[in-house]
Structure 1
Amino acid sequence: MEPTIYLNFKGNCREAMTLYAETLGGTVLGVFTNADAPSPEDRMPGGDHLVMNMSIRLGSATVMASDAPEEWYSKPQGFSVSITPTSMDEFDRIYAILSKDAERVMMAPAETFWADRFAMFVDRFGTPWMLIIEGSKRVG
């Protein structure tokens, strides 16, 4: 059994998830919108454009997401999506794209006592991220 990350967005699910797939070398597996529902009773509040379910494949992981109607949405907290780029150049590329217009940068890219490079931020879609390259500081 493997956990699946499931993210909620405020009407920009397709934009966010497409950016994540493109930036992280993933593939969009599927997108279902309110308009795809067989009847009005099967739709969530908010309009035909809202994404009911979208999934992307990142390596061996699946990330799923949907738009949440205003009355269902709550800001993500208490977790971060953690990514381990394969090189410093890849780290810098991913950070530049995902942190563009970030809601908040808690830690800009820097060396720490536990990692050769680490960054922590909330992107413009509200998703909290951590990027890490342990490198020479890898434990175990």
Structure 2
Amino acid sequence: MEPTIYLTFNGTCLEAMRHYEKTLGGEITGIFRNSDAPTPESRMQGSDDMVLNMSMRLGNAVVMASDAPEAWYARPQGFSVSLSPASVDEFDRLFAALAEDAQAVMMPPSETFWAERFTMFTDRFGTPWMLNFEGNKAMT
């Protein structure tokens, strides 16, 4: 069993997931919109374009996401999507793309006692991220 990351957005699901697909090299494998629901009763309150569920293959992992009706949406907290780039160059590329117009950068990219480079930020879509490049500090 492998965990699946499930992200919830406030109307920006498709834009966010397309950005993650391009930035992370993923592949969107399915999108179901409110208008795809078989009956009016099975639709969520919101526009027909609202994403009810979508998935993206990212390596061996799956990232799923949806838009939440405004009354249900809560800002993500208590977790981060954590990535371990294979190089400093990849770290820098990911940070530049994911942190562009970030809502917050809690910890700018810097060296730590456990990693050559580490950062924590919340992207423009509200997703909290951590990037960690261990480099020569990798535990063996």
Secondary structure (helix, strand or coil) at the match of 2:21 reads: helix
Aligned partner of 2:110: which letter? A
Pair 1:71 & 2:87 matched: no
Give the deviation of 1:137 after TM superposition.
1.1
Give the deviation of 1:39 after TM superposition.
1.0
Q: How does 1:1-140 map to 2 (within 5 A)?
A: 1-140=1-140
Task: Show CA shifts across 1:26-82 (max 9, x none).
Answer: 100110000111111111111101000010011100000000011010110000000
Aligned partner of 1:106: which letter? M
**5+ residue gaps, structure 2:** none
> Sequence identity of aligned pairs in percent?
65
Give the deviation of 1:138 after TM superposition.
1.3
Secondary structure (helix, strand or coil) at the match of 1:62 reads: strand
Secondary structure (helix, strand or coil) at the match of 1:131 reads: strand
Secondary structure (helix, strand or coil) at the match of 1:89 reads: helix
Per the normalisation by structure 1, the TM-score is: 0.98
Give the deviation of 1:87 after TM superposition.
1.1
Secondary structure (helix, strand or coil) at the match of 1:101 reads: coil
Per the normalisation by structure 2, the TM-score is: 0.98
In 2, the alpha carbon distance for the partners of 1:21 and 1:96 equals: 15
Q: Tell me the matched-pair count.
A: 140
Structure 1 residue runs of 4 or more that deviate by more than 6 Å after TM superposition: none
Aligned partner of 1:14: which letter? L
**5+ residue gaps, structure 1:** none
Aligned partner of 1:23: which letter? T
